[in-house]
Amino acid sequence: PIATNSSVPESLRSFLATPRKLLIGGQWVEAKSGKTFDVFDPATDEVIAQAAAGDAADVDLAVAAARKAFDAGPWSRMTASQRGQIIWKIGDLIEQNADELAAMETLDNGKPLGVAKAADVALAADMFRYMAGWATKIEGNTIPLNVPYVPGGQFHAYTLKEPIGVVGQIIPWNFPLLMAAWKLGPALATGCTIVLKPAEQTPISAIRLGELCQEAGIPDGVVNIITGFGETAGAAIAAHDDIDKVAFTGSTEVGKIILKAAAGNLKKVTLELGGKSPNVVYDDADLDTAIAGAADAIFFNQGQVCSAGSRLFVQSGIYDEVVAGVSEIANNMKVGSGFDAATQMGPLVSREQFDRVAGYLKAGLDAGAEASAGGAAIDRPGYFVQPTVLKNATTEMSIVQEEIFGPVVAAMPFDNEAEIASQANDTSFGLAAGIWTRDISKAHKLAKQVKAGTVWVNCYSIFDAALPFGGYKQSGWGREMGHAALENYLQTKSVCVSL
């Protein structure tokens, strides 16, 4: 039996002992097809759980439940204050179950347990609390009119902010719980109802979150969770005629597929997609901080971060020193099981991702890049690769242009400060950027020039529920987090009354 596999911690065995089900209309049910799929521990390649393989038939049921909860209530009939209190409670329950949720993330995704608890779980709890506060603060405006073809006309005009309705949310595997929180938080705060599909690689914590939503008092049908594959369950959500909006986080490639599928009923679409973010180190930077920051920018979460600093631009005079410094950090990193307290970097999430990253490493080295740290997979069970620093990388190489989504940074020197903005922007992505300098004027100038949704100065990967996050160019549409995220889930209705 799966749950007794050596890699499943004692604390999760009973939860994983039987195949996990779908949450539809407040009930935990098997997929209509009866099918399940295996979930793997990326550190051991062992099966750790089975989850229901939801598909179009289950999505139909979930959408019907979400529609009923939206149209008939009780969600839509509750006051904003009542909704806010329930959302706050989800945050409390996440915090109360932090150890269990962190263990789920480590088991399912591979990330170090300490990181899962301090980052993923803590940020998820905070996201619900932040959004709970917004529920009572969604307001329209009163608008003075001047209608030229109604001389002397007097009008009272105002806007109402209304929830968009039933939303489909499709999320990735790199931060399974946190991505669910980023999606559910604003949708719940605005009064929408939801069909959420976690990634097939990492469904476990979202299933547990569904239970916590129920415990917090989320009414039946408001949060529905359909585990399953992208091509079946995901595609059914993107194309569904009775879904009013789809929110997707994942690859740019799949984002484009979602967009096309959504065209059928012109549902609203927001996309949080890939990146190839520049991290720029000027020669006047505090080098110790910049070197540690550049390493963290790419190695955090095994490099499986859409905003990872994967193109490292270093001013020529300090290039060797910075590359050597980041390489030393990479070479000394303890790579292993996320449950080992000493581990700094865990495995990649899946066999597929492992093959992808290994493919990019080979392509980069074949094209003439040189590994000053790492450069290869690690020969042991599980999906481990070495933290890698590639130098002699040039613009046209796939390792510089494409998102690798692994612990691989391409380091490139720059001479001319006037040209660094165009080099930084020389990519089809625009998610994030890093700038390291002691010169604040230089930092602000580049921050303005760089085409990226988030710019970190003398820091990297700082996320907060209040700080909007999202992409320029092919990194996406719309913003997650902050009050900007609420707009994704609201319609504006103008009401005009003749006095």
Among 112, 191, 234, 336, binds ligand ADP (CB under 6 A): 234
The residue count for binding ligand ADP (CB under 6 A) is 17
Provide the minimum distance between the beta carbon of 246 and ligand ADP in the complex, in angstroms, as a whole number: 9
Q: Is 8 exposed, middle or buried (0-12, 13-18, 19+ CB in 10 A)?
A: buried
Residue carrying structure tokens 């998610």: 431
Among 38, 71, 215, 231, binds ligand ADP (CB under 6 A): 231
Which residues ranging from 41 to 70 are in contact with ligand ADP (CB under 6 A)? none
By C-alpha distance, which of 181, 214, 12, 183 is closest to 91?
181
User: What is the C-alpha to C-alpha distance for residues 76 and 73, in angstroms, rounded to an integer?
Assistant: 5
Q: What is the per-residue DSSP string for 284-309?
A: TS-HHHHHHHHHHHHHGGGG--TT--
User: What is the C-alpha to C-alpha distance for residues 496 and 482, in angstroms, rounded to an integer?
Assistant: 30
Beta sheet of 142-143, edge-to-edge order: 142-143, 155-163, 490-498
Provide the minimum distance between the beta carbon of 200 and ligand ADP in the complex, in angstroms, as a whole number: 5
Assess whether 370 carries a catalytic annotation. no
127 binds ligand ADP per the rule CB under 6 A: no
User: What is the C-alpha to C-alpha distance for residues 331 and 480, in angstroms, rounded to an integer?
Assistant: 35
Closer to ligand ADP by CB, 230 or 293: give it: 230
Q: Which two tokens stand for residue 245?
A: 């909006």
User: What is the C-alpha to C-alpha distance for residues 324 and 317, in angstroms, rounded to an integer?
Assistant: 13
83 binds ligand ADP per the rule CB under 6 A: no
Part in contact with ligand ADP (CB under 6 A); list of ranges 47-55, 246-254, 324-332, 463-471: 246-254
Q: Which two tokens stand for residue 380?
A: 């042991």
Cβ(175)–Cβ(192) below 8 Å: no
Cα distances from 155 to residues 148, 416, 419, in angstroms, run 12, 59, 54
Closer to ligand ADP by CB, 68 or 356: give it: 356
170 binds ligand ADP per the rule CB under 6 A: yes
238 binds ligand ADP per the rule CB under 6 A: yes
Angle between helices 122-134 and 98-109 (to 10 degrees): 120
Closer to ligand ADP by CB, 174 or 190: give it: 174
Part in contact with ligand ADP (CB under 6 A); list of ranges 43-51, 248-256, 283-291, 413-421: 248-256
197 binds ligand ADP per the rule CB under 6 A: yes
Mask 254-293, x = binds ligand ADP (CB under 6 A)?
x--xx-----------------------------------
Which of 272, 403, 480, 487 is flagged as catalytic? 272
- Positions annotated as catalytic residues are 272
Applying CB under 6 A, the residues found at the interface with ligand ADP are 170-172, 197, 199-200, 229-231, 234-235, 238, 250-251, 254, 257-258
